[in-house]
Structure 1
Amino acid sequence: MLNGEKKMERPFRWAMVGGGRLGQVGYKHRIGALRDNTAYQLVAGAFDIEPARGKDFGINIGVDEERCYPDYKTMFTKEALRADGIEVVSIATPNGTHYEICKAALEAGLHVICEKPLFFTSEEGEEIKALAEEKGKIVGVTYGFSGNQMLLQMRAMIEQGLIGDIRVVDLEYTHGFNATDKSDKVSEAQKWRVDPKIAGPSFVLGDLSTHTYYMSQLIMPNMKISRLLCDRQSFISSRAPLEDNAFVLMQYENGAVGRLWTSSINAGCMDGHRIRIVGSKASLEWWDSKPGELRYEVQGEPIQTLIRAMPYLDDLCNADERLGALHQEGLSESWANIYLKIALAIDAKNRNDEETLKNLIYPDIDAGINGIRWIENCVRSAENGAAWVEFENKKSISI
């Protein structure tokens, strides 16, 4: 169980690029990083594309005025001159900026925590991976839901053979907040998400379902896709060629099949984030609306609901427990778990502790690249008339 005690010598000096007053994800990053005040200390930031607004915001969240910078380049340059300069930076900016900021951060000798999808192409991902290895730095990806510990319970139960051989993978991440084009016109955070130059080759595939795809890989690390079919739609025509709805069929190397539905036009839906894994003996189902519960259905037996923080759960799951049974956890704890594990990875990297790095389960650079490749293959299938395509590991989609 986690109780906030320090797991490393001191907190890392941490900064943010983006995540300011008008951003949708900045606060999630901060509550995740600062939940355990023994892991990170926010000391600097380039919080906004508008310098004055970014500076005002930084001061209002307690950052020293002199360390509220007009842009990330200035911040990296000036912080490098300080004895107490930043060591880690989070990138909470639109997709199209991730690559250049991440590259600049690594070249400045910083560890990086970046929003998803990581970059536009897997080639960019491989380039950044090579640079991170050269510099001896960690690149983590904020798949924000993946810190829910019941996902690790699913992983443990599958590894122990409790559901048998996996046959069906059923994934869904949908909501209805973009059922009309109103948000595209009034929300700055939404406008760039439907602009291919900024968002990349997809909308909901990248913005929503990369979360769920990564979570499925976290749960089933040995399940590899052999081929897939993607059918995507732009029900709001002004979003074309980017999709606001998509269906993906997947075939796995072990013979299992999968489907994924992702959508932002599921009118009336507040939370359609669900994962169901069907095995030859039993099934497991997790739903984001009830993140502390796991439905366990054994063929021929009464349905069971497993509850987080209970002693009957696997140690892999309970190691990330924070509040104890009877007290509800949620998305903030999930983000905190991710940020803490990335901090542990950074600490291990700094100490050349490869054994700890090998055993840590967190969204690393490989997870980010795998997410890019999944998007690339989905787009390739959709652009070929929703055709089945072999899952390629090196294919890129140019914009």
Structure 2
Amino acid sequence: MLNGERKIERPLRWGMVGGGRTGNVGYKHRLGALRDNTAFQLLAGAFDIDPARGKDFGINLGVDPSRCYPDYKTMFQEEAKRKDGVEVVSIATPNATHYEICKAALNAGLHVICEKPLFFEVGQGEEIKALAEEKGKIVGVTYGFSGSQVLLQMRSMVKNGDLGQIHMIELQYTHGFGCDFKADQTNEGQKWRVNPKISGPSFVLGDLSTHTYYMSQLICPDMKIKQVLCDRQSFVKSRKPLEDNAYCLMRYENGAVGRMWASAVNAGCMNGHRIRIVGSKASIEFSDNQPNELLYEVQGKPIQKLIRAMPYLYDECNADERLGALHAEGLPESWANIYLKFAIAIDAKNRGDKETLKNLVYPDINAGIEGIRWVQNCVKSANAGGIWVDFK
């Protein structure tokens, strides 16, 4: 159980690039990082492309005005001059900027926590991975839903053979808020997501499905995709060539199969985020709408509903619970769990603790590269007319 006690010697000195007043994700980063005040301390930021607005925002967060910077380059330069300068930075900016900011941060001697999708090309990911290894730094990726401890219960059940051999993986992340196409022009957080120059080669594949794909890899780490087939649509025509709906089929190396549905135009849907793992003996199903519950369906037996934080769950699951089974947890706790693991990973890297890094389950640079690989191959398949392509 987590109760806020320190897991590292001192809070990490933390800064942010982006995540300002008009962004959609900045508050989630701060909720996660500051939930345990023993993990991170927000000391600096280049919060906005508009320097005046960013400074005003930072001051309202309680950041020293002199450490509210007009841009990330200035922040990295000025913080490097301070004895108490930041040592880790979160990148919560539009997709097209991730690569250059991440590279600059590593070259400035900073650990990095970056939004997804990490970059546009697998080669960029491999380059940053090599740079991070050279600099002795951690690169984490904020797949924020993946901090739910119920996913660790699913991982343990798969590992321990409770489901038997895995045959099918069903993935879905959909909502209906993309039906409001006017938001493409009026909402600051939406505008860039439908601009291919900024968002990259995809909309919902990068914005939504990368979350669920990583969660499936967390649950089933030994399941490797062999081939993928993707068919994507732009039901709001002005979004072409970006998709607002996509269907993907997967073939795994062990003979299992899978499906992914990602959509921003599932009209009326508030949050259709679910994962179902089907084995030869039993199935498990997680829904983000009920994050404290896990359906466990054994063939020939009554359906069981497993509840978060109960003693019958695996230790790996309950190690991350915070509030007890009586009280519901959700997305803020998931983000907090991810950020706490980022802090533990950074601390371990600084100390040369290879054993902790080896056993820590969190979305690292490799998870980010896999997310890039997922999007690249799906786009490749769709652009070729929806054909099977080798996953590479």
Same fold, judged at TM 0.5 (above): yes
Cα separation, 2, equivalents of 1:8 and 1:263: 40
Residue 218 of structure 2: aligned partner: 218
Q: Is the 8 A contact 1:180 1:236 kept in 2?
A: no
Cα separation, 2, equivalents of 1:215 and 1:325: 23
Residue 345 of structure 2: aligned partner: 345
Residue 396 of structure 1: aligned partner: none
Residue 275 of structure 2: aligned partner: 275
Residue 196 in structure 1 maps to residue 178 in structure 2 = no
- 1:371-390 → structure 2 map (5 Å cutoff): 371-390=371-390
Residue 118 in structure 1 maps to residue 121 in structure 2 = no
Residue 155 of structure 1: aligned partner: 155
How far residue 179 of structure 1 moved from its aligned partner, in angstroms, is 1.0
How far residue 387 of structure 1 moved from its aligned partner, in angstroms, is 0.4
- Structure 1 range deviating more: 203-212 or 182-191: 182-191
Query: What is the one-letter code of the residue matched to 1:82?
Result: R
Calculate the TM-score normalised by the size of structure 2: 1.00
Residue 181 of structure 2: aligned partner: 181
| Structure 2: segments with no counterpart, 5+ residues | none
Q: Secondary structure at the match of 1:172?
A: strand
Calculate the TM-score normalised by the size of structure 1: 0.98
Cα separation, 1, equivalents of 2:369 and 2:274: 23
Cα separation, 2, equivalents of 1:180 and 1:329: 30
- 1:1-399 → structure 2 map (5 Å cutoff): 1-392=1-392
How far residue 221 of structure 1 moved from its aligned partner, in angstroms, is 0.1
Q: Secondary structure at the match of 1:45?
A: strand
Cα separation, 1, equivalents of 2:391 and 2:56: 47
Q: Is the 8 A contact 1:194 1:242 kept in 2?
A: yes
Cα separation, 1, equivalents of 2:313 and 2:261: 30
| Structure 1: segments with no counterpart, 5+ residues | 393-399
How far residue 292 of structure 1 moved from its aligned partner, in angstroms, is 0.6
Query: What is the one-letter code of the residue matched to 1:67?
Result: R
How far residue 180 of structure 1 moved from its aligned partner, in angstroms, is 3.3
Q: Is the 8 A contact 1:229 1:381 kept in 2?
A: yes
Percent identity reads: 76
Q: Secondary structure at the match of 1:178?
A: helix
Cα separation, 2, equivalents of 1:162 and 1:108: 46
Query: What is the one-letter code of the residue matched to 1:197?
Result: K
Cα separation, 1, equivalents of 2:194 and 2:21: 21
Cα separation, 2, equivalents of 1:180 and 1:78: 42
- Structure 1 range deviating more: 364-373 or 176-185: 176-185
Query: What is the one-letter code of the residue matched to 2:104?
Result: A
How far residue 204 of structure 1 moved from its aligned partner, in angstroms, is 0.0
Query: What is the one-letter code of the residue matched to 1:351?
Result: R
Deviation per CA, 1:306-332, whole angstroms, max 9, x where unpaired?
000000000000000000111010100
How far residue 23 of structure 1 moved from its aligned partner, in angstroms, is 0.5
- Aligned-pair Cα RMSD in Å: 0.4
Deviation per CA, 1:103-140, whole angstroms, max 9, x where unpaired?
00000000000000000101110010000000000000
Cα separation, 1, equivalents of 2:176 and 2:271: 9
Cα separation, 2, equivalents of 1:164 and 1:119: 36
Residue 397 of structure 1: aligned partner: none
How far residue 188 of structure 1 moved from its aligned partner, in angstroms, is 1.3
How far residue 72 of structure 1 moved from its aligned partner, in angstroms, is 0.3
Deviation per CA, 1:283-317, whole angstroms, max 9, x where unpaired?
00000000010000000000000000000000000
Cα separation, 2, equivalents of 1:249 and 1:132: 33
